[in-house]
Structure 1
Amino acid sequence: MPDDRPTTTTGDAVLPDTAAFDVLHVLALKGMAATDPLVTGSRYAREDVLAELEKLRAHGLASHLERRGLWRVTPEGRERHAALLDEDLTGEDVTGDARDRLRPGYELFLPLNDRFKELCTRWQLRDGVTNDHTDTAYDRARFGELGALHEETVPVVDLLTAVRPRFGRYRLGLTRALTRLRTGEQQAFTGVRCDSYHDVWMELHRDLLVSLRIERETEERTRTSP
């Protein structure tokens, strides 16, 4: 996947907005993850992701928990990621500052996020008690709502992807999760750490907050203030 942007080096490690940066970016968003989710998130072949992870580990930007098979971003890795992300998004080109161009998509995402959170609550609870998913008609109605929300979300993700192609993975992830849900995999709605719709959605939200340098608490205060 060619990239004509300049690279940034740390010692012998090259960290451009290509394979190494993409892997570091996904790892920083997740905090800790097994190899497979990092492969899915970074859009590269497994062997390439493993090679980049080993480079990150060699330079102290990532660590590997051997017994659990998990990779974890280090404090140094978070600092490096923040610096590279800032460099990537603040440098102006003929299209202008990337953060300014991401913000309209973020503003469109916020009301969709409110609706998604409310829908997740109604998927998990009915009349204040846990939804046991025995009412097929009720669950199918929630599928329909999610499908409609998905149709509204895709153009927003496409706007973000036009600014930085790495956002394109969220469209793929959300679509895959919706397909799994429609074929009977209930966990694909709000399951945890299984690439559920909720998993992918929340990572998209984190990506926007990190990219725009917005604290979640600040976002919540801004959204709830009169």
Structure 2
Amino acid sequence: MAFSSEAELCVIHALRVKGFVDTPAIVEVTGLLEPEVLGFLQAFKESEEVRHREGKMSGWMLTPQGRARGQAMVSAELKTAGNRDQVATAYQSFLAVNQGFLALCTDWQLRTVDGEQVVNDHADVAHDAAVIERLGEADAMVQPVCAALAEAFERFGDYGNRFSEALTKVRNGDHDWFTKPMIESYHTVWFELHENLLATLGIERANESAG
């Protein structure tokens, strides 16, 4: 049975995974009620573990203290759950397809014309179709990783569906859902899954290759 995270951890961890996010998005990703989410955020703000930014784009972000506290909570949870090996195995499977996916994103954003790389204007339908086909292949490889993680922790439970939804939109011609930031594009979900794995295992992204 998948381990269920405490509500407080879900909120602070959502900020770690998403980086900068508004309250409705935290509510959606955690499945908690908005008053409960706001209560945790206010407490984190009072202890200087989160900051709230107002403006055209308003939202919450972790401070260094908040990141450290969140990491401590996630590390303690992993020890309590006793499933480090399960998550570590899934992480290695993810790494096995990560570089290929990043290359795929580059091929979506750029293409080679007369030996030079140029911004892909998506006028070459055959090129785009081939890249989308490869995205489907990448999806087939990452879905078992998502399933294994969902068996370990409930907070990993929705990644498979999020990938499927983004892939369907890309295949249906809404190409923003491939790599566009600030929406639930395939690349956005991939980045968040990667960050979730790093946080869960206590690995800093900058030190990943050295590990």
Quick check: TM above 0.5?
Answer: yes
Q: 1:27 corresponds to which residue?
A: 15
Query: Which whole-Å CA distance do the structure 2 matches of 1:38 and 1:175 have between them?
Result: 21
| Higher relative contact order, structure no. (Cα contacts within 8 Å, ≥ 6 residues apart) | 2
The aligned runs of 1:80-119 (5 Å cut-off) are: 80-91=69-80, 97-119=82-104
Cα pair 2:17 2:192 within 8 Å, conserved: yes
1:164-197 Cα offsets, whole Å, 9 max, x none, are 1111122222122112212222111111121211
Query: Which whole-Å CA distance do the structure 1 matches of 2:175 and 2:125 have between them?
Result: 11
* Number of aligned residue pairs: 205
Q: 1:41 corresponds to which residue?
A: 29
Change (3 A) 1:139 1:45: farther
Q: 2:189 corresponds to which residue?
A: 200
Structure 1 residue 102 displacement after superposition: 0.7
Change (3 A) 1:46 1:146: farther
Structure 1 residue 210 displacement after superposition: 1.6
1:61-112 Cα offsets, whole Å, 9 max, x none, are 22211334211112221122111111101126xxxx3222211101111111
Cα pair 1:19 1:44 within 8 Å, conserved: yes
1:30-74 Cα offsets, whole Å, 9 max, x none, are 232222332332233445433432333244322211334211112
Structure 1 residue 21 displacement after superposition: 1.3
TM-score (norm 2): 0.86
2:163 aligned with 1:174:
yes
Structure 1 residue 123 displacement after superposition: 0.8
Give the counterpart letter for 2:89 in structure 1. P
Cα pair 1:43 1:169 within 8 Å, conserved: no
Query: Which whole-Å CA distance do the structure 2 matches of 1:125 and 1:182 have between them?
Result: 19
The RMSD of aligned alpha carbons is: 2.2
Query: Which whole-Å CA distance do the structure 1 matches of 2:177 and 2:140 have between them?
Result: 17
Query: Which whole-Å CA distance do the structure 2 matches of 1:218 and 1:61 have between them?
Result: 24
2:154 to 126, 142, 165: 165
Change (3 A) 1:216 1:64: closer
Percentage identity across paired residues of the two chains: 36
TM-score (norm 1): 0.81
